[in-house]
Amino acid sequence: MQLFSTASYLNAAHHYQQVLSQRGVEIDVCEVEQLNARFFRQHPDLALCVDEQGLWLCANGMRMQPDWKAEVSRLKRASIKSEMIARACQLSEAPQLIDATAGLGHDSLLMAHLGAKVTLLERHPILFTLLEDSHFQAQNDPFLKQIVDRIHLVFIDSADYLQSCIQQHQQVDVIYLDPMFPQRDQHQQAIKKQAQVKKQMQLLHLLLPEQGEMDLGDALLPLAKQVAKRVIVKRPRHAIFLNQQTPDHQWLGDACRFDAYFQLAL
């Protein structure tokens, strides 16, 4: 994969090149005169770029990064009472929480803001590096710093991590699952149409092509239920149940729902 940078940010580009090489991704650094809209339109292939705002993913005239700073206004409006995710995950009790399907990390950021101590898992080296960079950038923001201090990033396959927890008899309060590819179910077209609007998701789908059931999250649910007292699964409102397992409780919103699986024995 190529990583584009202007001369001013070549040192940063080579740093990311080294980090990604250690994570098994070979990167070619390419110096360009400008990283502007015209450049991205003329380079449609999936690539990385770096500028004053950090590391980005780009393709087809679009660019994307987790950009946790852009979430500040949402976080300032959020409260335990106003957020359905807070009720589902019992964030008022400041739980130890594992987010096993990291995505862009926005839900983890919200849950940490509302009190959770979050372990954020991601197995894809490029997406993990993007998340790591957003975490680092957020450390320099006075409002975000106290939030991201409650987020611990782990570069690992979620299934491997949960298997390790089971073997070591480690338990947590909550495991949160928001599978990346729910649109194979019977509501495929409606969800695809919604995804067309979200450019960030389009780029993530280019980076993370579907590869069997793991990407649907089905295999994670049975593991999560052995580790957490409460497993919360975020789904499109009309989607089928994850792993075809009927939840113990649901919270329903206009566009999405939260399915809960309780393990009272733990």
At 216 the pLDDT is: 61
How far apart (Å, rounded) are the C-alpha atoms in residues 98 and 121? 8
Run of H or E including 172: strand 172-177
How is residue 240 annotated by DSSP?
Answer: P
pTM over 0.95: no
Q: Under 8 Å CB-to-CB from 206, ≥6 apart: which residues?
A: 46, 59
Q: How many CB atoms neighbour CB 143 within 10 A?
A: 12
At 177 the pLDDT is: 97
At 208 the pLDDT is: 80
Q: What is the bridge-based pairing of β-strands 2-5 and 96-99?
A: unpaired
Mark the binding-site residues, compressed into ranges: 122-123, 178
CA angle 44, 50, 3 (to 5 degrees): 50
At 195 the pLDDT is: 43
Mark the binding-site residues for S-adenosyl-L-methionine, compressed into ranges: 122-123, 178
CB 120 within 8 A of CB 99: yes
Sites in the chain below the pLDDT cut of 50 = 183-193, 195-197, 211-214, 266
How far apart (Å, rounded) are the C-alpha atoms in residues 122 and 103? 8
How far apart (Å, rounded) are the C-alpha atoms in residues 194 and 207? 19
**Helix boundaries (H) for 61-157:** 72-77, 84-89, 106-113, 125-138, 142-148
